[in-house]
Structure 1
Amino acid sequence: MKITPTIRAEIQTYLRRKGLSMTKFGHIAGMNPGTVSGIVTGNRTLSVHQLDRITLGMDLPADYFYERYVEENVIDAPLNWKRISPFLYRCVQFRRLDCLQKVVSVLLDKPTYLPYLFALAEDYYEQGYNEAAAYLYENIAEGEKQQHSERLAICHYRIFTIQVGDDQRQNLNAATIFEAFVERLDEIDQLDALKDLANVYRSLRQWDKVDEMAKKMRDKAEIQYSMKHQQKSRERNESTKKLTRPLFVYISYADLLCASVYEAQGDYQQALQYTYAYADLDWVKETDEDTLYWISLFEHWAQANVTANKLLSGDINALYDYIEYIGAPSDTTEQDKVTQLLNIMMTANRYQIDVNDILQRFETDVNSLLQFPQSNDIYTKQVIPEQFARFGYELAYYYLYRGMYNDGFKYLMYSMVSYHTLNNENYFINCTGLFAHFQAYALPETREEYFKLLEKVWLDNVKKNGTADRRG
């Protein structure tokens, strides 16, 4: 069995081999010679800052001694948070999660360290070190699972936001687990949590859950808004600063979500009532710049959605009003544009309307839109990618049924790849059914691309489910 020398022993060996005095090495490493001497003789505790300087002076990789540092200065030494904390930060920066995990496993045996680890996890989360943060949150949650604490709820909220990604099946699982902890959060934090849950359920088209989350958010936001303007206390105003949006937005956004629920269920009259509700914001008391910005957004959304509801309900005359509205110069975002064009295509397919001239007019938008936007916002990460995939499907449906096969299959393949990425089996099956219906018109290279994609989906499922490929 090979015996690994201690850090101190390896430094001593290096100095002898290079013929360096401690004074000389101290100059190379940018350290006081007395400090070097104290570390080498074992009379001084080694900090990670000093370790980094020594490692650099020895011309070694920055994390070369990290495993031994864990053994010698954490496991085999008295625990000292002031010494351990900087080391954990360096572990994350150098992606040495193995070392971080060894240290954390030692600290978790001491419940007094849980608050320190939680604060560390919050720092990692803010800085975007999600893998390390998730590991800490999961272990803190496990350590506090018997406690009915706000910290436990925050851990589950952070885990939920970190886990939400392309895989809609995983997103559903993450949302289901987190939902049980929402009520344990601070009353203000609950508003953003319910908003995020509603957006995930919206991307999954689970309309009953969207409706439930939206109404809970509205009720809680109305209470907070009333308290804010009744109490006028500094504490109340300070607490609402934690929100990612002005407080009134959570009330109006709940109405917007409810409108989307009824629209999806085909109840356009009820959807319009909710749309009129979030269009009427005369009750909002604030007049700051951020509030005015959000008020203008809701007015913009309402104007578009009133026309869209009329359009989807079969009022074809509204189509041209809608086209003029979305074609006018404005601050319309890509998220708005894909929703607007999706509404047009759904209407065209539902009522068999020729919209070739409209597609030609917005050709540049259509071509540029079919890219997933990157954002940390859950709405943009979840709702918009699903709408992009569905937009591709509606375009494919329109073109294929009108005999425009090249365009049809192009958008169909885009939609299939998107739904596979989203792990949305139902809509992926819809795509395969549409391809099967028109496969006689597919070019040989299109069929080859299609079957390669199906094989990839199969292999991905084999890998994911651990099913062996038994041949021969």
Structure 2
Amino acid sequence: MGSVHSIREELLAYMNGNQMIHSHFAELSGLNSGTLSRILKGKHPISMAQLAAITAGMKLPEDYFFEDYIEECFAFVVSMRRIRPFIFRSAQLDRLDCLEQIVNRLLEDLSYASLLFEFAELLYGDNKRQAARILYQGVSEAEKYQHSERLALCQYRIFRIEIEDQHDLEEKLRAAAQFELYVYRLDAADQLDAMKQLMHIYGLVHKWKRVDELAKKMHRIASIQYELENRRSDTIDEGLKRPERPCYYYILYAYLARATASEECGDYKRALSFVKMYANGERWVHENDEQSRQIIAQFSKWAVANTYLYRLMTGELDVLDEYADYIALHENEIFVAVRYIVRAANVFKLNVDSILDRFAPYIPYESSKTEFGEYKQTILKESYAQFLIELAIYLFNHNKSKEQALNTVLKGLEISIAMNSSKNMVACMILFEQYRDFADQELLERFKKLSSEVYQLNAKKDLILLDAL
């Protein structure tokens, strides 16, 4: 392999080795005898259909000649009639190496960038995300000195692919920081979805000031878009690009995000002020269909639950039982609520054993679904790691089994390592060291092993930083 002639050479060697004449192999493969003759003489380019016929006739794996076919694509006049099906078949067979080579060859002529972007969008829509990423990356490189919306959209698609496939929080943060440079070049509809994804990442790594800033911008953009939508007629709206959810959803979501950011910064009074803004969407949302009613109802439920939480965290301890009774009616929200109840117990030195017993079947979380979609699994895992840290502190504070408490810390550390959550790893290690004297030899060995994994993660991070320099 390696030259434009190798497909023909191997085919001819196969025919000679099996004492086949042209007509015999043509019949065996389903090719026209004349076409086969012209292919062997190098007078006829090989189409993808013909390549598949040749490969099958030789009883070889379908992608056996794919690397050679790259040369075939460029040996005659460059033709998308050959290249397009080759790109899509390479994607289907996960021959990403071939995709990367052909994209690099094509982009020697930058006029192909537009066509490759169209192919990338088709692959992305067909859930061939890694294949699409190669094309988006190629287009981005081709247009890196331009301030085009297409460049921004390529970067957005790459960002979405990276955070969906990546469990490492440090890598998610790197992808977010790299993409954020392009977010404001996107169409307004894509900006709203992009900001939501960025807020998820910054929330996971506890950058709550950044979450608040993005939520403020989301609110402004969504409000403008919602006002424009309500001014337009239905006929004008038909070709308009829309975000994944209705614009009013992003207004409500921005309030929710700012409330959460305020809560995580300990400003519960400010958090309550935002709760009031997403509690009563029915007062200003113009739509009255099933979707709008469902969205408004879900935000209203979150408002009720979060009002209980913020009142509790400001010291209104008498709402605890009411809060517990309320979340009992909403099973899919129980785990997240219990996490905050344990946090409040640690702040105010409360005994919540009865609540932990009551909701034991939901710890760890039993479901990733809510009445309004799904929690991202990464968000749930991060939340669970934080819960284990809070629970361990609770067990230590209330003189429970030190072995149980230390096991809880180590479980939290394991999850934090798997996600590369620096803040949680540090919290777990400090907590274990604080109560090390209560650990038996088995617990100490587990901690030693996990500490070694943390060290390796940090060493890897240092190498990445050195490479960047």
- State the alpha-carbon separation in 2 of the partners of residues 237 and 307 from structure 1: 42
Alignment gaps of 5+ in structure 1 = 468-472
**Which residue of structure 2 aligns with residue 360 of structure 1?**
357
**Which residue of structure 1 aligns with residue 467 of structure 2?**
none
**Which residue of structure 2 aligns with residue 206 of structure 1?**
207
Equivalences for residues 107-122 of structure 1 within 5 A = 107-122=106-121
- State the alpha-carbon separation in 1 of the partners of residues 462 and 135 from structure 2: 27
- State the alpha-carbon separation in 2 of the partners of residues 389 and 60 from structure 1: 49
Displacement of 1:367: 3.7
Equivalences for residues 148-187 of structure 1 within 5 A = 148-164=147-163, 165-187=166-188
Confirm or deny: 8 A CA contact 1:153 1:181 kept in the other structure.
yes
Matched, 1:414 2:411: yes
Moved more, 434-443 or 149-158: 434-443
**Helix, strand or coil at the partner of 1:158:** helix
**Which residue of structure 1 aligns with residue 58 of structure 2?**
58
Q: What amino acid does structure 2 have at the position aligned with 1:458?
A: Y
Moved more, 155-164 or 345-354: 155-164
Q: 2:380 aligns with which of 379, 384, 389?
A: 384
- State the alpha-carbon separation in 2 of the partners of residues 235 and 41 from structure 1: 58
Give the TM-score normalised by structure 2. Answer: 0.91
Alignment gaps of 5+ in structure 2 = 465-469
Task: Classify 1:368/1:206 alpha carbon distance in 2 versus 1 (closer, same or farther; 3 Å).
Answer: closer
Task: Classify 1:5/1:183 alpha carbon distance in 2 versus 1 (closer, same or farther; 3 Å).
Answer: closer
Q: What amino acid does structure 1 have at the position aligned with 2:107?
A: L
**Which residue of structure 2 aligns with residue 223 of structure 1?**
224
**Helix, strand or coil at the partner of 1:317:** helix
Task: Classify 1:89/1:244 alpha carbon distance in 2 versus 1 (closer, same or farther; 3 Å).
Answer: same
Task: Classify 1:5/1:177 alpha carbon distance in 2 versus 1 (closer, same or farther; 3 Å).
Answer: closer
Confirm or deny: 8 A CA contact 2:29 2:54 kept in the other structure.
yes
Give the TM-score normalised by structure 1. Answer: 0.90
Displacement of 1:36: 3.1
Q: What amino acid does structure 2 have at the position aligned with 1:322?
A: Y
Q: What amino acid does structure 1 have at the position aligned with 2:345?
A: A
Displacement of 1:379: 6.2
Confirm or deny: 8 A CA contact 1:272 1:306 kept in the other structure.
yes
**Which residue of structure 2 aligns with residue 327 of structure 1?**
328
Displacement of 1:233: 4.2
**Which residue of structure 2 aligns with residue 103 of structure 1?**
102
Confirm or deny: 8 A CA contact 2:280 2:296 kept in the other structure.
no
- State the alpha-carbon separation in 2 of the partners of residues 250 and 2 from structure 1: 53
Per-residue CA deviation, residues 170-226 of structure 1 (Å, 9 max, x unaligned), is 222222222221221112211111111122112122111111111111111111111
Q: What amino acid does structure 2 have at the position aligned with 1:316?
A: L
Displacement of 1:464: 5.1
Confirm or deny: 8 A CA contact 2:3 2:68 kept in the other structure.
no
Task: Classify 1:226/1:159 alpha carbon distance in 2 versus 1 (closer, same or farther; 3 Å).
Answer: same
**Helix, strand or coil at the partner of 2:59:** coil
Task: Classify 1:466/1:203 alpha carbon distance in 2 versus 1 (closer, same or farther; 3 Å).
Answer: closer
Task: Classify 1:2/1:88 alpha carbon distance in 2 versus 1 (closer, same or farther; 3 Å).
Answer: closer
CA root-mean-square deviation: 2.4
Task: Classify 1:368/1:256 alpha carbon distance in 2 versus 1 (closer, same or farther; 3 Å).
Answer: closer
Equivalences for residues 54-453 of structure 1 within 5 A = 54-71=54-71, 73-164=72-163, 165-236=166-237, 238-239=239-240, 242-281=242-281, 282-328=283-329, 330=330, 332-333=331-332, 336-369=333-366, 380-401=376-397, 402-453=399-450
Displacement of 1:278: 0.5
Task: Classify 1:2/1:268 alpha carbon distance in 2 versus 1 (closer, same or farther; 3 Å).
Answer: closer
Q: What amino acid does structure 2 have at the position aligned with 1:128?
A: N
* Bigger RCO of structures 1 and 2 (CA < 8 A, at least 6 apart): 1
